[in-house]
């Protein structure tokens, strides 16, 4: 049996938008990339159409580290019917500005090798959640054979922008890590078992991207924090300094 591998990606851009729910004229964004959005990015890099089977990509275990949370931005869109020229309802669109994320998928080594190559030379132009959100950095990072998802995300260097790193003076930075929970072994053999992963559920497991009937299932996400080194932090100049001399220490001495 093949041991799983891990593929890491950096998702950085002026704007990103990762919607898990869209209702009428209000299009929100999650605070971090969604699995459905990243699976869509991987499928487009491979050149798959919206009607293609994505079951192999959906089975990959997904996680994301929030290296630079960015700021939430609200915008609005106007549109007109092409045939009549009549105005359509104004829609609200929400984005993340100046955000940087470290995303990773864990699974079959050969599939991840194909994805790594495809991201380096994608069939379709990649975007970060919406077509209006192009990436500002190359997306593919490294392919880690025989690796564990959580270990890779803890070991990866901090990807925040240099200006953002310089604003933080700590030697180590605490980052949020959102990891897709593994199903308990008993649940693999008996889907009706009461053993279920512990965490928050989100309807973000893609089943099909068909424009006629997109479908998503629930998945469970656990939230933790990890420490990473800040390369822009100044060395602690007091670490090697000799203890201060107490000039009044002799006054407390008791003589016989």
Distance CA 152, CA 61 (A): 13
The per-residue pLDDT for 193 is 42
3-class secondary-structure state, position 103: strand
**What is the domain extent for residue 174?**
5-78+88-234
Whether 255 is covered by a domain: the verdict is no
What CATH number should be reported for the domain holding residue 102?
3.30.70.2660
- The whole-model pTM stands at 0.82
Whether 242 is covered by a domain: the verdict is no
> Hey, how many other C-beta atoms are within 10 angstroms of the C-beta on 27?
18
- Structure confidence by residue, pLDDT tens digits, 114-147: 999 999 999 999 999 999 999 999 999 999 999 9
Q: What is the mean pLDDT of residues 41-58?
A: 95
Q: What is the DSSP letter of 162?
A: H
Q: Are 77 and 90 in contact (CB under 8 A)?
A: yes
Strands 172-180 and 61-68: antiparallel
3-class secondary-structure state, position 205: strand
What is the band of 248 on the pLDDT scale with cuts at 50, 70, 90?
A: low
Which helix or strand (DSSP H or E) is residue 95 part of?
Answer: strand 91-107
Whether 83 is covered by a domain: the verdict is no
Whether 24 is covered by a domain: the verdict is yes
The per-residue pLDDT for 125 is 92
The per-residue pLDDT for 36 is 95
Whether 241 is covered by a domain: the verdict is no
Whether 246 is covered by a domain: the verdict is no
Whether 99 is covered by a domain: the verdict is yes
Q: What is the mean pLDDT of residues 46-63?
A: 95
- Structure confidence by residue, pLDDT tens digits, 174-210: 999 999 987 544 344 444 444 455 678 888 999 999 9
What's the number of domains the chain is made of? 1
The per-residue pLDDT for 217 is 93
Which one, of 137, 139, 155, lies nearest residue 103 by Cα? 139
CA 198 from centroid of its chain's CA atoms: 20
């Amino acid at each position: 049996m093949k041991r799983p591998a891990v593929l890491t990606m950096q998702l950085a851009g002026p704007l990103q938008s990762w919607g898990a729910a869209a209702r009428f004229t209000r299009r929100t964004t999650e605070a971090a990339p969604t699995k459905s959005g990243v699976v869509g990015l991987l499928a487009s890099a491979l050149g798959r159409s919206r009607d293609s089977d994505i079951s192999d990509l959906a089975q990959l275990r997904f996680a994301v580290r929030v290296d630079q949370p960015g700021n939430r931005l609200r915008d609005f869109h106007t549109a007109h019917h092409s045939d009549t020229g009549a105005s359509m309802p104004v829609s609200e669109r929400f984005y993340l500005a100046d955000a940087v994320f470290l995303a990773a998928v864990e699974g079959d080594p050969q599939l991840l090798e194909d994805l790594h190559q495809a991201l380096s030379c994608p069939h379709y132009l990649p975007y970060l959640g919406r077509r209006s959100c192009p990436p500002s950095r190359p997306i593919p990072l490294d392919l880690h054979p025989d690796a564990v998802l959580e270990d890779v995300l803890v070991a990866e260097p901090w990807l925040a922008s240099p200006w953002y790193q310089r604003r933080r003076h700590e030697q180590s930075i605490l980052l949020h890590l959102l990891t897709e929970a593994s199903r308990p072994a008993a649940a693999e053999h008996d889907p009706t078992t009461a053993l279920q992963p512990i965490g928050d559920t989100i309807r973000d497991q893609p089943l099909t991207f068909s424009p006629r009937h997109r479908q998503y299932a629930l998945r469970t996400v656990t939230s933790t924090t990890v420490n990473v080194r800040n390369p822009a932090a100044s060395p602690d100049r007091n670490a090697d300094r000799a203890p201060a001399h107490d000039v009044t220490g002799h006054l407390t001495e008791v003589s016989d």
